[in-house]
Structure 1
Amino acid sequence: MPKLREVTKGSRFSGDLRGTRILVTGGSGFIGSHIIDLLVAAGCDEIVAVDNMVRGRPENLGDALGSGRVRLVQGDIRDRALMDTLVKGTDVVFHQAALRITQCASEPRHAFEVMATATFNLLESCVEAGVAKVVMASSASVYGMAEAFPTTEKHHPYDNRTLYGAAKSFGEGLLRSFNDMYGLDYVALRYFNAYGPRMDLTGRYTEVMVRWMQRLAEGQSPIVFGDGLQTMDLVHVRDIAQANILSATSSATDVVLNVGTGVETSLVDLAGHLTRIMGRDGTPLLHEAERAVNPVPRRLCDTRLAKDLIGFEAEIGAAEGLADLVAWWQDESRSDHLRRALA
C-alpha cells in the first residue's frame, strides 16, 4: 500500500494533452471509444485501451487504431499485474469499465469484484505510478428516485436501491479517500441517460430506443408501458466524451459533476422523435399496462456545476442526437452483430 503523504490541493495536471500517455479502461466500449476519438484529435502521444471485449468491440475504435497512437489490450481490469503494467508511465487514466446495471443485479459478487475491488486496485496502482489525474465514470443511478429536480450533485444517494448505483457511490467515495490520503487528483462524472452510436443495445434505460427503432422499421407501433410520461435526461455520447476531456484538462479536482442536458424527454416525446426521423410520422403508440417493476420514472440533471468548473455544456439536442443514433442503428441492423444482440 502506498505511504500517506502531505497533500497539496489543486490539480497537478491542467491544460494540453499533447504528448501525454493515456489509459482508458473499457476503451473499446460505448463511451470509452468516443473518448479515445477525442484523445487522438487532441494529439496524445500514446493511448492504451484495455477492454475484456464483453461489451466492447474493436470496430468501435475504427479510425483511432489506424492513427498508430492507440493500442488495444484485451484484458480484465481485475488482473492486478496487467493493470500495474498498463498504469506505469501514464499521465491520465479514464476509468470507464463497468458492468451493465442488469448484470450487477444478476451477478452481484462478480459486480463487486469488477466495480469495487478492481476500482480500488486501479486507484492504488495510480498512486504508486504517480498518475497525475483520474477521470472516472459514475452515474445518475447514485440518486435512485431523486427527490428534487433538477437534481444537483448535493442530492443524497440514499434512495438508490441498485447494486450498480451502490458500486458507483463506493467508487466516488474511494476517490475522495485517495485524494485525502495520497493527493490523487480526480474528477468523477455522473452520466445521466447516455445514448448514441455504439451504445449498449441491451441497456436498461436505452433498450427502449432499440426496440422502438426495430418495431418502426418493421411497420409496427412502438409499445409504451403506462402513460409514457416517464422522463429521461438524454445526453449524447459525444457530449459525454467532451465532458471527460474537459475534466482532464481543467484545474478541477476532488469533485463529482453531473453530465446531462438539463432537458427532460418523455417516452412519448422520444417516440415522436423516432417516428419522424424514421419516416413513420403519425404512427400511433401502442399503450400497454405499466410494468410492476418500473425503473426510475424521472431524470432531470442540474448542469450548473459542470459548466462552472469545467466549462461543459451539452451541445447535441435530442432531435439531432436521435437522428445520429438512427443512422448508426440502420447501418448496424445490416450486420450480424445487431441480429445476435436482439436474438
Structure 2
Amino acid sequence: MSSRTVLFTGGAGFIGLHVVPLLLERGYRVRIFDNMFRGDRDRVAELAATGRVELIDQDVRYGGAVYRVMRGCDHVIHFAAVSINKSQADPYESIDINMVGNHNVFAAAAEHRIRRLVYASSASVYGEPRKLPMHEDDELNPLTPYCIAKRAGEDLLRFYQRQRGLSWIALRFFNVYGPGQKPTAYYTSVINHFVARLRNGQPPVIDGRGEQSMDFIHVRDIARGVVAALESERGNMPINLGTGVDTSVAQLAKILIDAVGVDVTPEFNPRDVLVSRRAADIRRAREVLGWQPTVSIEDGMADLVRRTPAGSRRTPAPDRLPRTPAPSSTS
C-alpha cells in the first residue's frame, strides 16, 4: 500500500484535513488538489512536511489540470464543491464548479482507470424526507443548486460505471461538525451561536418548541468512513454517513448547556415553525464498509466546546436550525 497515491480534490478543507492524516497512517501518498479559497495553508504545509503530501493549487473547473495531475494516481477522493448557502446566492458559480467540476474529475478517473473514486455527496439529495430514518433507496428530491449537483454527481458516476467500469462510492454526509470547522458552516452554525450566547451567560433562544432536528455526525467518524469507502471491496452505490439519531434543537441546547457548564434555561420564541427532522439509516454503512459512528453527540459537543477558545467563534447565525433541505459540509 505504501506506493499508492490518492488525488484528493478539496482536501485542504475542514473534512479533508481530518481524512489526510488517516491516509498517511495507512501508507498512502496524497496529492491535494484545491483552489485554497477556503483551504488551510498552514495545516497543509504541516502535512507536506511529511514528504508524502503535495498541494496542487488549482480549480476543478479546469479539466486539463485535473487530467494531468491524476496521472499516476490509484485512487481519487472528490470533495471540491461550492457550499450550499453560496450555491443559493450564486447558482451560476455553483453549477459551474459543482457540475462541471464533478464531470472533469469523473471523466478523468474513468480514463485513468482509477481503482476507486469516493465522492462527497450529501443527505441534501433527499430533500424533505417522508419518513425516518432516511434510506439510500428513498425518493430523492434535491431543492437547491448544491443539492441538485450532488444528486447529478451520483448519476454521472453511474454513467461512467456503465461506460468505462469506474468503481465508486458516494457518501451521503449528514450534519458534520467538529474541531476546525468554520463558524459560518451553514447547517451547524447554530452550534457556534448557542455556544457564544452560553459563554456570555445568555440562554439560547429557540423558535417554536425546538422540535426541528438534525443528525449530527462527528468529523472524526466521517474521516474513518471515507477511508473505509476507499478500501471497501464492494462499491458502486451511495452510502449514508450519519448516526441514525435525530437530535432536536431543544436537545442540542440542553447538551450545549451541560458542555459549557452554565446554569441557564433555554428560552422559546412562540411562533409557527416548519418542523423538519433528519436521521440516517446507516445499515448499509455497517454492512458494506464495516463502519459505525463512535462519537456520541454529548462527547462530541463537549470536545468541541473545549477546543473552541472563548470569544473566537461568535457568529450572527440564526437561533434555529435552517429550514432549507437536508445537511452537508464538505470543506
TM-score (norm 1): 0.87
Residue 122 (structure 2) aligns with: 139
TM-score (norm 2): 0.91
Asked if the contact 1:221–1:286 (Cα under 8 Å) also holds between the matched residues in 2, the reply is yes
Residue 3 (structure 1) aligns with: none
Find 1:98's aligned residue among 78, 81, 106. 81
CA spacing shift, 1:213–1:65, aligned 2, 3 Å? farther
1:204, distance to aligned residue in structure 2 (A): 2.1
Q: SS at the partner of 2:169?
A: strand
Asked if the contact 1:105–1:163 (Cα under 8 Å) also holds between the matched residues in 2, the reply is yes
Residue 323 (structure 1) aligns with: 302
Pairs aligned (count): 317
Aligned-partner residue type, residue 81 of structure 1? G
Q: Distance in 2 between matches of 1:168 and 1:289?
A: 35
Asked if the contact 2:117–2:169 (Cα under 8 Å) also holds between the matched residues in 1, the reply is yes
* 202-211 or 218-227, which deviates more: 218-227
Residue 6 (structure 1) aligns with: none
Asked if the contact 2:62–2:104 (Cα under 8 Å) also holds between the matched residues in 1, the reply is no
2:16 is aligned with 1:37: no
Q: Distance in 2 between matches of 1:222 and 1:73?
A: 42
Q: SS at the partner of 2:27?
A: coil
2:283 is aligned with 1:304: yes
The Cα offsets for residues 110-142 of structure 1, whole Å up to 9 and x where unpaired, read as 100111111101111112222111000000000
The gaps in structure 1 that reach 5 residues or longer are 1-16
Residue 228 (structure 2) aligns with: 246
Residue 186 (structure 1) aligns with: 168
Q: Distance in 2 between matches of 1:291 and 1:18?
A: 56
CA spacing shift, 1:212–1:60, aligned 2, 3 Å? farther
* 196-205 or 172-181, which deviates more: 196-205
1:76, distance to aligned residue in structure 2 (A): 1.3
The Cα offsets for residues 265-317 of structure 1, whole Å up to 9 and x where unpaired, read as 1111111111111111x31112225577x5x7110110101111111101111
Aligned residues: percent identity? 34
Aligned-partner residue type, residue 328 of structure 1? R
Aligned-partner residue type, residue 195 of structure 1? Y
User: Looking at both structures, which has the greater relative contact order when contacts are Cα pairs under 8 Å and sequence separation is at least 6?
Assistant: 2
The Cα offsets for residues 309-337 of structure 1, whole Å up to 9 and x where unpaired, read as 11110111101111221123227x55xxx
Residue 108 (structure 1) aligns with: 91
Find 1:47's aligned residue among 10, 30, 43. 30
CA RMSD of superposed structures (Å): 1.9
Aligned-partner residue type, residue 3 of structure 2? G
Following superposition of structure 1 onto structure 2, how do residues 48-87 of structure 1 map, counting pairs within 5 Å?
48-61=31-44, 63-87=46-70
Q: Distance in 2 between matches of 1:56 and 1:342?
A: 22
Q: Distance in 1 between matches of 2:256 and 2:239?
A: 30
CA spacing shift, 1:321–1:61, aligned 2, 3 Å? farther
Following superposition of structure 1 onto structure 2, how do residues 100-179 of structure 1 map, counting pairs within 5 Å?
100-158=83-141, 160-179=142-161
1:62, distance to aligned residue in structure 2 (A): 6.7
2:269 is aligned with 1:288: yes
2:19 is aligned with 1:22: no
1:230, distance to aligned residue in structure 2 (A): 1.0
1:59, distance to aligned residue in structure 2 (A): 3.6
Asked if the contact 1:50–1:74 (Cα under 8 Å) also holds between the matched residues in 2, the reply is yes
Asked if the contact 1:55–1:200 (Cα under 8 Å) also holds between the matched residues in 2, the reply is no
Runs of 4+ aligned structure 1 residues displaced above 6 Å come to none
